Structure 1
Amino acid sequence: MQNNVLDYLNHIVKQKPAKTAFSDGTEALSFREVYDLSRSVGSFLHKKGIYRKPVVVFFGVVAGGDFYVPIDEEMPAGRIQLILDNVRSPLIICDRETEETARTFRIGEGEIVLFHEMAQCGIDDGALEEIHRNAIDTDPIYIVFTSGSTGIPKGVAACHRSVIDYIERLSEILGFDDETVFGNQSPLYFDACLKELYPTLKFGATTYLIPRELFSVPVKLVEYLNGHRINTICWVVSALTMVSAFGTFETVKPEFLHTIAFGSEVFPIRQFRIWREALPEAVFTNLYGPTEGTGMCCYYRVEREFAEDEAIPIGRPFPNREILLLTPEGKRAEVGQEGEICIRGTALTLGYYNDPERTAEAFVQNPLNTAYPERIYRTGDIGRYNEAGELLFVSRKDYQIKHMGHRIELGEIEVNVDMLPDVRMAACIYDTWKAKIVLYYVGDPSEKEMAAVLRTKLPRYMLPNRIIRLEQLPFTANGKIDRVTLKKMYEGA
């Protein structure tokens, strides 16, 4: 029985030692190199006596019986310090290029170590085998920090069991194998990269870590996909619409893509159609899931046409998970009735690291089960089932507003804007203090033209009070529309 994610690596290195595992298109690591480096780092940690501790940075940390906390110098310094204060790691791993930056942070009794020094550590096979024998599948494997509504990041702690379950189910649903060539879009300090990193180890596939700057140059991005024969991508919707909205496919099309998974945001149907028309033989799958549920937990394979005012369903739960759609009274929502999406099963993470209060708020007893302890995770997302039994994402709780006496979904306004000709992207925010709906968009129509068109599309109480045209919407490091920055832009205007 597998109880450690490194069992994937231990198995595949015997079959495909020389094959490229990870590459950025310039430098590459084979499975043998990944294996040896991980064992050197693990041996270094053993000699330091660091065991079952959070260590700031990947596979070698796990080999040493610890759990990794991925951070990156591109993260805001204040956020990095909050993370370091939370985990109080005994060891910070960096390279020569980031050492100076690393030393600017308060790390208490922690030690900063250069990766190349750890990589030269002699491998202690006996110690690593002992660590592996003592590992159990509920041991933590990582802490990934997400944004908190209070401004303080939340450290989601996942265990080997939930990650293994996720990788097994995701691989089955999307059909990964040893010929899969991934194009990774998500930075490595987000949990989204699980979709590529661990299936690569499981199957002996290959992952290309696409340089981030290419996502602002769509033609070069597609040329990169073609140049490395990338056939599988699992991207946030904003990354896909950046390609389709700017006429990229009129110049170049992905030649090898056959598997396209997307999620984290609603895919505007007009932009989805552009992708579908460019790649009619590809399989498109909508994925849904929060970090607290170890990545994605629902999927919908797109096999029919959708009207422009429809939303692609998030479908059905992965095997070994259950979605509970609960009303405010803690009852199951009926078909067509809205409820909060809650997750039950092995996929649940351990909770928030060093944060029992927020853990208790989100990871709660299943109200449908009063017989024994059973945790569920309340996502804060609102959904409903259609007549076909497919789950539809409606909105975030915090995207629902009360305006002019009406409950409004900001996402509904965005959908109507996305349907307009010559509009490429749109996002709404709400100014609670002034009770104003603010619409930002990228497109050809002027703000005055946009206002006139929307008066024919939306009821009066849903009309934006401010309409602002931008050359480009801001995005988070993970590629999602950055609504926090939009609010700051509005407040500072």
Structure 2
Amino acid sequence: MIRNILCYAEESARRFPGKTAFADEETACTYDELIKSARAVGTRLGMEVTPGKPVPVLMEKGVKAIYAFMGIVSAGCFYILLDPKLPTERLRSVLDTLQAEVLLTDPAYDKPRERLEFDGKVIMMEEALQTQEDTTYLDNVRKQSRDVDPLYAIFTSGSTGVPKGVVVSHRSVIDFIEEFTRLFNITEHDVIGNQAPFDFDVSVKDIYSTLKCGATMQIIPKKFFSFPTKLLDYLVEREVTTLIWAVSALCIISTLKGFDYKVPQKIRKVIFSGEVMPVKHLNIWKKYLPEAMYVNVYGPTEITCNCTYHIIDRGYEPGENLPIGKPFPNEKVFLLDEEDREVTKPGEKGEICVSGTALSLGYYNNPEQTDRAFVQNPLNQSYLEPIYRTGDLAYYGEDGNLYFASRKDFQIKHMGHRIELGEIETALETVEGLGRSLCMYDEAKGKILAFYEGDLEKKQIVRAIGARLPGFMIPNVFVKVEEFPLTKNGKIDRKKLEEAYESGNLTGLS
């Protein structure tokens, strides 16, 4: 039985010692080099910190960050990636929550002690990598490890303005990755093209699918997602076969007609998540890469990456909803209404709730938020069964699949009607000549706002969606944007869009 994620790396190093495990734009490492580097870093950390403690890593994503992660795990600790580009105040907030004793970094990222007011020990990666391995220490740490030990923490936005650190165990990742790689046939022959930042849980699928299968992971520079031709060149040159990307990243290529320049013919798997995939963009990908497997996966960070999946098995037309599918094996996914009754009837909406091994360990140093989100299953009064309430609404289709409806907080009350903004967005997707679109609600003015890419005028859009939506659901304000702002995780940045709208910095108001 696998108790520790390092077993994946060690087994792949035994099978493929000289094979490239991870590569970025400038450097690469073999599986053998990865293990040696991890054990050196683990030994250095063992001089400063006891197992079970958090170790933040202030570093850009790249091969060296992977060394840091595996070194931290070798020392029996858990890692947290701190993106140097994040605002100083946010980084300080994360460090205040962690109360870490040690921080790993490189000289390139300023002096963390002064910038971040960090009082602990700062260790430079070059020093750690040169440490002589202490085999006895590392072996003792491993003997004492348990599968419920924390592996990493990822900080997400908090409703109080303070980031929440989701802590995930070895057991949860092992449970998920075993099924993820099996279901989507990821093997040692795959080359995974990493898009996600390392402080975003999509990267967990990239990293641990690679280690589990003995595959190769090509770390794509973030800057290439602003230049589709460079991005496509990179995918072709690095012979990428598998994309596990945010929806917006895929839409960059299809929006800017990247396939007219070059098609990365070796891609055989396209797995997407994070937002609803617009069917018109999915169809562009399928047109140019018809032999690839396309998979819609769903799930928040708190349940270890994803809890449902759907392999696209037929053609879809704009305006149709893609299923989020069915639960991954060993995960229980169900819907609860506002009275905590289970929803099973097709078409009726309920909140998505999840139980099983996939559940995270809660929020680090935040018992109040943990107790609010991770609760006893109200359907089970007989024994302890914690569930995570996602805050997302879904419904069952007649085909038995789950379909995402919207966030609970995207449900509005407008002109006496309860309205799902996601339903309006689905209607907008059917409009010929319209790019991506997004809806918000201006509660103070009682107006539905529709933001969109494209050259159409308000009258044309209203006419097109009027056949699908009742009058009270037609947006009151249409805002044309040249390009949607994106978060660092590749999702549409709703907050920035809202701020730009309120300040009048968006063009095309009507």
Selected match of 1:390 from 401, 418, 442? 401
Correspondence 1:77 to 2:88: yes
1:94 is matched with which residue? 105
- CA distance in 2 between counterparts of 1:136 and 1:36 reads 22
Selected match of 1:178 from 183, 188, 191? 188
Secondary structure in 1 matching 2:370: helix
Q: Give 1:269 shift.
A: 1.1
User: Contact 2:247 / 2:272 at 8 angstroms: preserved in 1?
Assistant: yes
Correspondence 1:361 to 2:372: yes
- CA distance in 2 between counterparts of 1:249 and 1:141 reads 38
Secondary structure in 1 matching 2:342: coil
1:38 is matched with which residue? 38
2:21 is matched with which residue? 21
User: Contact 2:88 / 2:115 at 8 angstroms: preserved in 1?
Assistant: no
User: Contact 1:25 / 1:228 at 8 angstroms: preserved in 2?
Assistant: no
Q: Give 1:31 shift.
A: 1.2
The more displaced of 110-119 and 286-295 is 110-119
- CA distance in 2 between counterparts of 1:235 and 1:84 reads 28
2:7 is matched with which residue? 7
Letter in 1 for 2:13: V
Q: Give 1:244 shift.
A: 1.1
5+ residue gaps in structure 1? none
Q: Give 1:339 shift.
A: 0.7
TM-score, length-scaled by structure 2: 0.94
2:507 is matched with which residue? none
Letter in 1 for 2:266: F
Q: Which runs of 4+ in 1 moved over 6 A?
A: none
- CA distance in 1 between counterparts of 2:344 and 2:115 reads 54
The more displaced of 226-235 and 145-154 is 145-154
Secondary structure in 1 matching 2:483: coil
Secondary structure in 2 matching 1:99: coil
2:243 is matched with which residue? 233
Letter in 2 for 1:165: D
User: Contact 2:43 / 2:133 at 8 angstroms: preserved in 1?
Assistant: yes
The more displaced of 6-15 and 159-168 is 6-15
2:61 is matched with which residue? none
User: Contact 2:431 / 2:461 at 8 angstroms: preserved in 1?
Assistant: no
1:47 is matched with which residue? 47
- CA distance in 2 between counterparts of 1:171 and 1:253 reads 25
2:271 is matched with which residue? 261
Pair 488,278 (structure 1): closer, same or farther in 2 beyond 3 Å: same
Selected match of 1:322 from 322, 327, 332? 332
Q: Give 1:422 shift.
A: 2.0
Q: Give 1:449 shift.
A: 4.3
- CA distance in 2 between counterparts of 1:392 and 1:458 reads 19
Q: Deviations over 1:137-178 (max 9, x none)?
A: 111111100112232211101111001111111111111100
Q: Deviations over 1:183-213 (max 9, x none)?
A: 0110011111011101111111100111111
- CA distance in 1 between counterparts of 2:215 and 2:496 reads 37
User: Contact 1:99 / 1:114 at 8 angstroms: preserved in 2?
Assistant: no
User: Contact 2:20 / 2:29 at 8 angstroms: preserved in 1?
Assistant: yes
Secondary structure in 2 matching 1:155: strand
Correspondence 1:290 to 2:290: no
- Counterpart mapping for 1:214-233 below 5 A: 214-233=224-243
Secondary structure in 2 matching 1:277: helix
Q: Give 1:79 shift.
A: 1.4
Correspondence 1:406 to 2:417: yes
User: Contact 2:49 / 2:102 at 8 angstroms: preserved in 1?
Assistant: no
Equivalent pairs, count: 492
Letter in 1 for 2:209: P
- CA distance in 2 between counterparts of 1:202 and 1:3 reads 13
The more displaced of 126-135 and 70-79 is 70-79
- CA distance in 1 between counterparts of 2:14 and 2:291 reads 35
Q: Deviations over 1:332-356 (max 9, x none)?
A: 1022211111001000001011111
Secondary structure in 2 matching 1:48: coil
Q: Deviations over 1:81-104 (max 9, x none)?
A: 110110011111110111335630
- CA distance in 1 between counterparts of 2:342 and 2:413 reads 25
Quote the RMSD (CA, aligned, Å).
1.5
Q: Deviations over 1:405-456 (max 9, x none)?
A: 1111111222222222222211122222222222211112245644554455
The more displaced of 175-184 and 298-307 is 298-307
TM-score, length-scaled by structure 1: 0.97
Identity percentage of aligned residues: 42
